[in-house]
Every structure is written in structure tokens, then in C-alpha cells.
Structure 1
Amino acid sequence: MRRKKEIEKKIDDIALNLEKSKIGEYVDLINNRKKLLYLNFIQGLARGFGMAVGFTILGALVVYFLQRLIKLNIPLIGSFIAEIVNIVQYYLH
């Protein structure tokens, strides 16, 4: 009798955990191709936009720091970096 109650409690715990993990919603999503394609498309757009913005900010910071290094006028590094910045600015215009 006691063993039966323990098994029932374990089954209830497993059922509760399955509900919490939302496996049913996941299966519904997998079976609905239109919704799955739509969500994947939106996620792809968001990732692409995020990468573009992030790369732009990172590139701007690199160019900014390279310009600051040029102003320090370090003999070998300064002329090399100045040439790189000129190339980047040429392609930006």
C-alpha cells in the first residue's frame, strides 16, 4: 500500500515536471510548419541585425582607436596605422 502511494507520487511529480517543461507546446510548434518557419525567420532577422549592428560598433571602435594611435605619432606603427585608416575611410566614402 505504501509502495503504491510512493509510485503515485513519483508519477505525479513526473507529470508536473513535464508540464513545467512545456513539452506539449514544443511538440505543437514542431508540428505547425508555418509557425516554425515564421519564428525561425524572425530569429534569423534578429540575429543578422544584431551581428550587423555589433560589427559596425566594433569596427567604429577599432578605427577610433587606430586614429588615436596615429595621433601618438609612434614612428613605425603610426604610418602603418595611418595607411590602414586611409584605406578604410576611402572605402567608406
Structure 2
Amino acid sequence: MPLSKEQEKRKVPSKSRGDEKRAEENERFEVLLDKLEEITTNGRLKDMAYHFTNKKEVIKTNLIAGVARGVGLTVGTAIFLALLFFILNALVDTPMVGEYIGNLLNSIESYRDNG
């Protein structure tokens, strides 16, 4: 329900900024956002058109991406396991964990002897 003329006159003005300034900023940001959307869409379309017209480029790109994923997964797993073993090696020296691991090794050794 819109305000009447009398209500519009009694309306308290905004303390921080005028509504006009906010409207101008909103319009400016909308124009900027539209330009950005247009640039990214055109860039994607050019990239898609290039890749789908050149089969060798598609194969090369996918091969490089697959190799990069494989190498990254291998290196990441190696780093993670190295850190895990480093932490476990430090924990073996603590009395409670070292005792638990010692008991575990003794039970494995006795199982080997009996089995």
C-alpha cells in the first residue's frame, strides 16, 4: 500500500544516506554486474566452441588434466601418510600409547607362535 501525500511529508529522512544515492549505487552495481556476466559468458562460449571443434585439443586437455589429478593425488597421499607416520612415531614414546602398541605387538607375536 503506497504512502499518502500527508504520510510522505511526515516521513523522517534517512540519517546515513539519501534514498537517491542508494538507488544510484544500486543501478551502477547492476550495470557492472551485467557487464561482468556478459564478459564471462562470451569467454565460456569461445572456449567451448574451440574445444568442441578441435578433437585433438580436447584429448590433449583431458590427458593433461588426468595426469595432473593422478600426480596430485599421489603426492598429496604421500605427504599425508608421511605426516601421519611422523605423528605416530612421536606418540610411540608416550607411555600410554607406547604400552598399547607394545601389548599389541606381543599379542601378534604370541598368535604367530601358536598359529
Counterpart in 2 of 1:57? 79
Alignment gaps of 5+ in structure 1 = 1-12, 84-93
Structure ranking higher on relative contact order (CA contacts 8 Å, 6+ apart): 1
Structure 2 residue 91 is the aligned partner of structure 1 residue 69: yes
Point out 4+ residue stretches in structure 1 off by more than 3 angstroms: none
Alignment gaps of 5+ in structure 2 = 1-33, 106-115
Aligned length: 67
Counterpart CA distance in 1 for 2:57 and 2:103 is 52
Aligned 8 A contact 1:29 1:36 in 2 = yes
Counterpart CA distance in 1 for 2:95 and 2:103 is 11
1:41-84 deviations in whole A, cap 9, x for unaligned?
001111111111100000001101111110113122x3378x5x
Question: Normalising by the residue count of structure 2, what TM-score does the alignment of the two structures yield?
Answer: 0.50
Letter of the 2:63 counterpart: F
Identity, % of aligned pairs?
Answer: 25
Larger helix proportion of the pair:
1
**Secondary structure at 1:28 match in 2:** helix
Counterpart in 2 of 1:46? 68
Question: Normalising by the residue count of structure 1, what TM-score does the alignment of the two structures yield?
Answer: 0.60
Counterpart in 1 of 2:111? none
Counterpart CA distance in 2 for 1:45 and 1:36 is 14
1:1-42 deviations in whole A, cap 9, x for unaligned?
xxxxxxxxxxxx79x81x542202312211211101001100
CA RMSD of superposed structures (Å) = 2.4
